[in-house]
Amino acid sequence: MVRTGSVAVLAIGAFLGAVPAWAQDSIKIGVNEPLTGAVAASGNYVTNGARIAEEMLNAQGGVLGKKIQLIIEDNKSNPKEAVSAAEKLIVRDKVPVMMGAWSSTFTLAVMPKLIEYSVPMVVETSSSGKITTSGNPWVFRIAPTSAMEARAFGEKLGQLNPPIKKADFLAVNNDFGRGASDEFRKMLEAKGVKVGVTETMAPEATDLSAQLARIKQSDGDTLFVTTGVEQITLVLKQAAEQRLPHRIITTGGSSSPDQLIAQAGDAANNSYHILFFAPWFPEKAVNPDIAKAFVEAWNKKGYEFAGLTEGFRGYDGITTIAAAIKAAGKAEPQAIRDALWNTKVSGVNGNIAFTKEGPAGKESGQNQPNIYIVQIKGGKVTLP
């Protein structure tokens, strides 16, 4: 009894001692990612990237003489949980700035809270156009919109051999999937490519045979797939089972090709993937030194190599936030937001800077990222 009591007193003492020290020495950054549920793999990868940024920044002495401290919340791959996580981060942890929330659907759900509490958020993954065009002045997106991705892909259309004659779409039935298939359809039609069927799938659907059977009947030659890596794995496996003749191209940058090779095996061969970072070829990045250092730090931590194509988002997001805090001179939401407009960061994807998008007076920040196309060939990732 005496023993338990003294341990408790010690614990309370340590706790009380720790809290003020924390408050003085660290700047909190909220991270709102899907660590569990349907898109958990991606959320974990992004969070790992964020942790690397935290460590690197702190190793260099932190920001404004204080350590950076990530407060990581799991949004459970669920928009309702994403809102609760954001509210918890803002109200209880009092974070002056956040990064999140991976899926467009989660980010869109969180956005009204940013206005309600006047806290800025850097969006690291979501690609739905709506995020930066709905008039939310607290949103700063480093990820490309689906429209940007489609446009950039359109410029590389000539690299595909044989060229696309008729394209079909299979997209997850949410803001991300529907947004991307709309933008790619528009882009392809403008380039004179015929468009066949567009099929959708629920985010947690595992059996996609009905959709694939229908796509098979459209005499298209290329299938654009937009969803997370878990569902892409299933699409590749089931497409092979049904002998789908299409060339498969995934959009959205969340395909983690190495995970596909590991989990879909031969079925992953000959698929193309649009990515925003190609860790196999860091020398091809806009900032090769930063890309190499990031890949090195990732490998040193023992994280799965497959996660790098998503992990960089977390790294770039946190580095951007840290740069804004530094420029703001204080860790306050309003000051950080103002500073984000002038923040220029050399990131893993490329040079990050925000331009205004959306209705005048309430613009959101949008970065202009780079895209890469890779192909899986013989169980290896190659540049086509």
Partner 1 sequence: MPEFLQHLANAVVLGGTYALLGIGLTLIFGIMRVVNFTHGELYTFGAYMAFMLAGLFGLNFFVSLALAATLGFLLGALIEFTLLRPLKGADIDTTMLVMIGAWIAMQAGQQLMWGGVAKSVPNPFPTEPVVLGPVSVGPIRLFVLAVAVVLLAVFYLLINRTKLGVAMRATFQDPDTAALMGVNNGLMYTLTFAIGSGLAAIAGALLGPIFVVTPTMGDLVALKAFAIVILGGLGNIPGATIGGFVLALVEEFGAGYVSSGYRDAMGFLLIIAVLAVRPQGLFAAKERIG
Binding mask 239-268 for partner 1 (x = CB under 8 A): -xxxx------------------xxxxxx-
How near is the Cβ of 185 to partner 1 at its closest, in Å?
Answer: 16
By CB under 8 A, tell whether 230 contacts partner 1.
Answer: yes
CA gap 156, 164 in Å, rounded: 12
By CB under 8 A, tell whether 40 contacts partner 1.
Answer: yes
Are 123 and 32 within 8 A, CB to CB? no
Stretch that binds partner 1, among 159-167, 180-188, 237-245, 278-286 (CB under 8 A): 237-245
The identity of residue 145, as a single letter, is: T
By CB under 8 A, tell whether 214 contacts partner 1.
Answer: yes
By CB under 8 A, tell whether 151 contacts partner 1.
Answer: no
According to DSSP, residue 174 is labeled S
Query: Residue length, the chain?
Result: 384
Are 119 and 97 within 8 A, CB to CB? yes
CA gap 349, 90 in Å, rounded: 28
By CB under 8 A, tell whether 234 contacts partner 1.
Answer: yes
- Among 6, 159, 209, 382, the residue binding partner 1 under the rule CB under 8 A is 209
Number of residues that bind partner 1 (CB under 8 A): 41
Token code pair at residue 80: 């309702």
By CB under 8 A, tell whether 377 contacts partner 1.
Answer: no
By CB under 8 A, tell whether 84 contacts partner 1.
Answer: no
Binding mask 88-117 for partner 1 (x = CB under 8 A): ------------------------------
Query: Cβ neighbours of residue 273 under 8 Å, at least 6 residues apart?
Result: 249, 250, 255, 257, 260, 373, 374, 375, 376
Pick between residue 8 and residue 213 the one whose CB is nearest to partner 1. 213
DSSP-assigned beta bridge partners for residue 139: 121
Sign of CA pseudo-dihedral 81, 319, 336, 96: positive
Sign of CA pseudo-dihedral 42, 368, 370, 30: negative
Report the interface residues with partner 1, using CB under 8 A: 34-38, 40-41, 43-44, 173, 199-202, 204-207, 209-211, 213-214, 216-217, 229-230, 233-234, 237-238, 240-243, 262-267
